[in-house]
Amino acid sequence: MAALDVYRVVIRQRLFGSEVDNVLWFRERAGSSVGSGNNSATLANNIRTGIDTTFRAMTTTSHFYEAVQATRMVPYGDGPVEDAWTAGTAGTAGSGATIHPASAGVLTLYTSKIGRSRRGRIYLAGFNPGNTASGLWSSTSLTAMGNFSAVLTTRYGPSGTQSWELGVWSKKIAGATPPFDSTAFEPITSIAVRAQIRSQRRRQVGVGR
C-alpha cells in the first residue's frame, strides 16, 4: 500500500550554468487516499505546482527552475519520475545581480526527536546581493524565506493539507544499501529561517555543468 511510503525529492535549478539541487524527503501520510502503488509522479507535480510561487519569489531572474524529481525509496526499486517547469522559468525577485551560488539562505528542519540524525537543512540560492547587510540577510530575503517555509509547513507540516509530510532522512539509520530502514524518516514539527548567510561549497561556479 502507498501509505507510509517514503520518497526522495530533488528540486533541480540552475544558476550561472551550474546545477543547484535541493534534496527533500517526504512520506505519504497514514490513511492517505492518493492511491496504491508508486505515487512519484503525483508527488512531483504536487510539489512543483504547490511551492512554485513562493519558491521563485526568493530568487532573481538569473536563477532558473528545471524540474522536480521524485523517487520512491521505501519500498525501494522504482525509477525516478520528473515533473518539469516550462523551459526558461526563472525567479521573480527582480533582475540584475545575483549572489554567488555558494552563498546560501538556510532553513532548519526540526522534528520531535533530538540529535543530528533528526535535524535537517535546506540550502537556498539565487538571492539578490543587495538584500544583505553585515553577513546577514535583509528583511526582504528573510520575509521571502519565511513565506516559503510557511507554504512548506502549511502543505506538508504536522497538520498539512496534502497527502505527504515533509521530514528528515537519516542515512545512518537507513543503512548503506536497500532495503532501507523506514525509521530513518522522521516528520518535521517546525521550520526555522536563519538570518546568517551560510556557505554551500559544493555550489561553486562550474559544478554540475
Q: What is the pLDDT of residue 6?
A: 97
3-state secondary structure of 202: helix
The predicted-structure confidence for 77-87, as pLDDT tens digits, reads as follows 999 999 999 99
**Which three three-digit cell numbers place residue 149?**
517555509
**For residue 197, is pLDDT > 60?**
yes
Task: Read off the pLDDT of each residue in 112-120 and give the average, rounded to a whole number.
Answer: 88
Q: What is the pLDDT of residue 204?
A: 67
Q: Confidence band (pLDDT; 50, 70, 90) for 1?
A: very low
The predicted-structure confidence for 6-48, as pLDDT tens digits, reads as follows 999 999 999 998 899 999 999 999 888 787 778 999 999 999 9
The predicted-structure confidence for 140-189, as pLDDT tens digits, reads as follows 999 999 999 999 999 999 999 999 999 999 999 999 999 999 999 999 99
Q: What is the pLDDT of residue 101?
A: 85
Give CA angle at 163 (157, 166), nearest 5°: 35
Q: Confidence band (pLDDT; 50, 70, 90) for 206?
A: low
- What is the spatial distance between Cα 135 and Cα 203, in angstroms, rounded to a whole number? 19
Query: How many C-beta neighbours within 10 Å does residue 208 have?
Result: 16
**For residue 208, is pLDDT > 70?**
no
Q: Name which of 3, 4, 1 is nearest 183 in CA terms.
A: 4
CB 74 within 8 A of CB 183: no
Give CA angle at 63 (102, 162), nearest 5°: 95
Q: What is the pLDDT of residue 202?
A: 74
The predicted-structure confidence for 117-127, as pLDDT tens digits, reads as follows 899 999 999 99
Q: What is the pLDDT of residue 17?
A: 87
Q: What is the pLDDT of residue 21?
A: 95
| Side-chain half-sphere exposure of 88, counting CA atoms within 13 A | 0
Strand partners of residue 132: 137
| Confidence (pTM) | 0.94
- What is the spatial distance between Cα 12 and Cα 84, in angstroms, rounded to a whole number? 9
